[in-house]
Amino acid sequence: MYELITKLYQLALSSHVVSTLLEPVHVIILALPLATLLVAILILAGQLRLKTTLTERNLVSTYSFIWYLAAAYLLIILPLPTRSSVAAMTGAEYNLQPFFFLSQLKLLTPFQLHDSSTWLSAFKSSSFFQPFFNVLLFMPIGAYLKWRHHWPLWLITLSSFTLSLFFETTQLTGLYGYYSRAYRMFDVDDLLMNTLGGVVGAWALVFIPAKWRNTDHSTVLNWTHHPINWRRIGALLVDWGLIAAFDGAYFILVKHFGLNLPHDYRWLYVGDILLFFILPTVLTGKTVGGLLFNSRVRSVSGRRANPLQLLIHYGGLYFVGLPLLFLDLWLFNRLGDLPSASLNRLDVYLVGVSLLLLIMSYDLLLALFNRQHHLWCERLSRTTVV
């Protein structure tokens, strides 16, 4: 025990604890989807408190926008190179020449405006597709701010430019100083195309019938009815926090102290489910978070949930949801530095997994904000949280 405490003290003095927990900021990347959900809960709770009522459609659209911002952020910072590879880079760190992509399009492709036979090959080149992708990337910003908040065009333009400047600054500073230099180029053309994308997104709303935009038949949530299940939110945060602390300690003990523990982290994942969810609920009917917030899983019949129901309930959330989350982040990281004009398997997989995760997060969010809504795994296991 004394030797273990001494090693921990030396590890803290050398700041290796920090480097272990943020190696190399991948933990931040893994935490981003969960942080996005937490931020969305706080924002939506604030909106419901201020407006008194909020429809489920409003809730889903606001969460979609927050989720989109997180996805856009991942697209501009991933894949993360190693520090040594960035330190060895010698290329330009920025481009301050506006519309430089036009000269590159002319130089690197056979594009001729009067010859339509050259258009297709030019459109497939990165010189065209990258600025085109930058326009598409920011169109949801303009569409959302115009549709949901009725912002004027000048404010949408300013907001799009400011967000784009934040993204470009993130690249220029080497992820806020984590890298010794920029690992992606600060490009003024990206600023221009992103800003244009926000404006185009606002204009594109005219193609959506006003009747569809303004009609909302979804369930209305009323603040006075206390629709938000704060006990369930608190229990989830405690349980997830305990898992994060346990796994972090496990990684430190295995990686830096060489303890003879399994290095196959799939068993650690299964152990998390058993230790923090299945075992506590079988013994007490509650997880640790449930004990603190007096929240438990029960059968819809009112009786205590049996082990099979608990397995289906928590398995749907963690044996399905978390692997999909890790797969989605892995696919993000496998994308190249530049978007490609041609789809490949990874692109298709990323879109499919992301959409599935988004649908599952909608389900979880609605369950947290509407006590009458049951998760898909709760309907399957015939359980409910009380």
Give domain status of residue 70, yes or no.
yes
Give domain status of residue 356, yes or no.
no
Give domain status of residue 41, yes or no.
yes
> Of 165 and 123, which is predicted with more confidence?
165
Give domain status of residue 306, yes or no.
no
Give domain status of residue 218, yes or no.
yes
Helix H or strand E encompassing 222:
strand 220-222
- Give the rounded distance of the alpha carbon of 45 from its chain centre: 19
Give domain status of residue 47, yes or no.
yes
The confidence score (pLDDT) of residue 333 equals 67
Give domain status of residue 307, yes or no.
no
- 11 pLDDT above the threshold of 50: no
Domain count, the chain: 1
Phi, psi of 257 (to 5 degrees): -115, -5
Average pLDDT over every residue of 222-239 = 87
User: Lowest-confidence range among 227-236, 246-255, 277-286, 332-341?
Assistant: 332-341
Contact 385, 363 (CB under 8 A): no
The confidence score (pLDDT) of residue 258 equals 67
The confidence score (pLDDT) of residue 20 equals 39
Between the two ends of the chain, the Cα-to-Cα distance in Å is 42
The confidence score (pLDDT) of residue 28 equals 57
Give domain status of residue 293, yes or no.
no
In the three-class reduction of DSSP (H, G, I as helix; E, B as strand; rest coil), residue 116 is classed as helix
pLDDT digits (tens, 9 = 90+) for 353-373: 888 888 888 888 888 998 888
The boundaries of the domain holding residue 126 are 2-222
Average pLDDT over every residue of 21-35 = 57
- 348 pLDDT above the threshold of 80: no
pLDDT digits (tens, 9 = 90+) for 164-219: 999 999 988 888 888 888 888 888 989 999 999 999 999 998 888 877 777 878 88
Distances (CA, A) of 82 to 18, 230, 329: 17, 41, 17
Interatomic CA distance for residues 311 and 196, integer angstroms: 49
